[in-house]
Structure 1
Amino acid sequence: MAQSLLHIPQWRFFDESMSARNRSALESFAADDTLCHLVGQQLSVPAVRTWVHENTIVLGIQDHRLPHVGDAIRMLEERGYRVIVRNSGGLAVVLDGGVLNISIVLSEREGAIDIPAGYETMLEFVRLLFPEVGNRIEAYEIVGSYCPGSYDLSIGGRKFAGISQRRLRSGIAVQVYLCVEGSGSARAEIIRDVYDIGLQGESTKFRYPSIQPEVMASLEELLGIPLTVADVMIRVQTVLNGLTDRVTFSGFQADEMELYASYLNRVVERNQKMLV
């Protein structure tokens, strides 16, 4: 199933791995919503979008309900992080210059794509990106990681990526964050502090993860080689060229910008309400 979803006549490649770095990650969520709409309604061919944001903590809905979330947010801001609330499922994650996010956007107009198939599509793509360890990349929940889920990606029990999905207007955005450079455990320590300060020992109905930083690592650490986001971007383009006869490099066109502006306004307004 994953192979048939990846091997298509044409891919649209939307690269914001450099241009989005100093912009709000809210813009990326709006961009993926826009692509979901365009691809879902077959106004665009399926797309792969790459994006990087500096020093941002993305909270999940449940994180926003931490009893002392205000204290946690102030701690993050004092450390130089922007804080936003995501519009899809999952819990808190760290975004920085060493984390590459990839979105694969597909349409269900010509046939339903179930949730497992969406996850398997991204798993296959990541394995293609790293053929030297492809058969060692496993998908199962890594207990003690931040934003744990059944499609945590790991090597030797140490998580380097997590996958989520966003579905809108017959479009599906399957998103992965790849911890490429730096220390995976150092990122996990930041999220551990979020829960320590956000909970302050209080019991809650929702069970927040007990973060164990040692279960998380970057690909650079796991592969034992110097590896940068720029290196992985070259791999992304190589894989895409091997999946299709035609890759179109395209950001939003003039006739798509109005739709993007509409989705951005929604995302920004929703985030402002969540952080009041």
Structure 2
Amino acid sequence: MSEGILLLQQEKWRLIDQSSFNPHFHALQSFAIDDTLCMSVGRGYSPPTARAWVHPRTIVLGIQDTKLPELQAGLAFLAEENYDYIVRNSGGLAVVLDDGVLNLSLILPEKEKGIDINRGYDSMWELIRFMFQDFPVEIEAREIVGSYCPGSYDLSIGGKKFAGISQRRIRKGVAVQIYLCVTGSGRQRAELIRQFYKRAKNDQPTKFIFPEVRPEVMASLSELLGVQLTIQDVMLRFMNVLQKMSTELFADQLQGDELEWFQAYYERMVERNRKI
């Protein structure tokens, strides 16, 4: 049994479901919630926690993206296209969120031995493979060159990327996060990011390397599987896997000390974005 599967097997999984579309649920809140849960799970205040979340049209930028020479021109373009934008508190580069993109987080405690970074990534990869094991496809984890926010754990089918995984570590807690393009056009999302970089770079030299986005290498799960999936369909698959991997899966929300921790992390996110 792989190390990734072992991480999925927990006595209890706490589930925080924020996957119902809410136009007032801001992405800044999401990153603060995951930081709060890292602290809570890391301290043993909470059992391992899974969270699902969906946001209205938002471009989530990485810190590197803020160094683009013509950033304001890129941001003006996003505003014209009716996208909000934020800068997240972790690495990586720009990604697209909208009502067809489901984000999943697994928040785990770093026990004495610690969770190796690849093991964290493998746990999410295994989760997605379990969720879609009834389809006769191979879900690969490797970098898809030409995708936005490329990384060694891009998830793809037939060379087309539908998901990207990241990690965040705080106070003995590890958050493994994935965005899953469930419905809609992967190509259109990629074209949006391509146009953003075109304007924000403006053919000027940059200190960091930014992707040359090729929209044809990205797709949604609905496109790749040839089935009209919904966010609710995928949520059901997610919960079924967690249920099989634990003796108890229970729904919950932030409570007690977590509400205070959340406020502090949220204010930190707001301040970081205000500065940028």
Task: State TM-score, norm by structure 1.
Answer: 0.97
Match of 1:204 among 176, 187, 206: 206
Distance 1:19 1:272, change over 3 A: same
How far apart are residue 205 of structure 1 and its match? 2.4
Alignment of 1:86-125 (within 5 A): 86-125=88-127
1:182 is paired with a residue whose SS is: coil
How far apart are residue 133 of structure 1 and its match? 3.9
2:123 maps to a residue whose letter is T
Alignment of 1:107-146 (within 5 A): 107-133=109-135, 136-146=138-148
- State the partner residue of 2:69: 67
Mapped partners of 1:133, 1:140: distance in 2: 20
1:148 maps to a residue whose letter is P
- 1:46-77 C-alpha deviation (Å, 9 max, x unpaired): 00000000100001111111100001101101
How far apart are residue 143 of structure 1 and its match? 0.3
1:23 maps to a residue whose letter is F
2:259 is the alignment partner of 1:257: yes
- Say if 1:48 and 1:103, in contact at 8 Å, map to a contact too: yes
- 1:198-226 C-alpha deviation (Å, 9 max, x unpaired): 01111212121000000000000000011
Alignment of 1:113-192 (within 5 A): 113-133=115-135, 136-192=138-194
How far apart are residue 155 of structure 1 and its match? 0.3
How far apart are residue 163 of structure 1 and its match? 0.2
2:16 is the alignment partner of 1:24: no
2:164 maps to a residue whose letter is G
Mapped partners of 1:50, 1:179: distance in 2: 13
Mapped partners of 1:190, 1:251: distance in 2: 34
Gap runs ≥5 in structure 2: none
1:136 is paired with a residue whose SS is: coil
Task: State TM-score, norm by structure 2.
Answer: 0.97
2:156 is paired with a residue whose SS is: strand
Mapped partners of 2:211, 2:69: distance in 1: 15
How far apart are residue 20 of structure 1 and its match? 4.9
- Say if 1:56 and 1:81, in contact at 8 Å, map to a contact too: yes
- Say if 2:21 and 2:55, in contact at 8 Å, map to a contact too: no
1:162 is paired with a residue whose SS is: strand
Alignment RMSD: 1.2
Moved more, 263-272 or 186-195: 263-272
Aligned pairs, number:
274
Gap runs ≥5 in structure 1: none
- Say if 1:71 and 1:197, in contact at 8 Å, map to a contact too: yes
- 1:56-103 C-alpha deviation (Å, 9 max, x unpaired): 000111111110000110110121111100111100000000000000
1:253 is paired with a residue whose SS is: coil
Mapped partners of 1:50, 1:163: distance in 2: 14
Moved over 4 A (4+): none
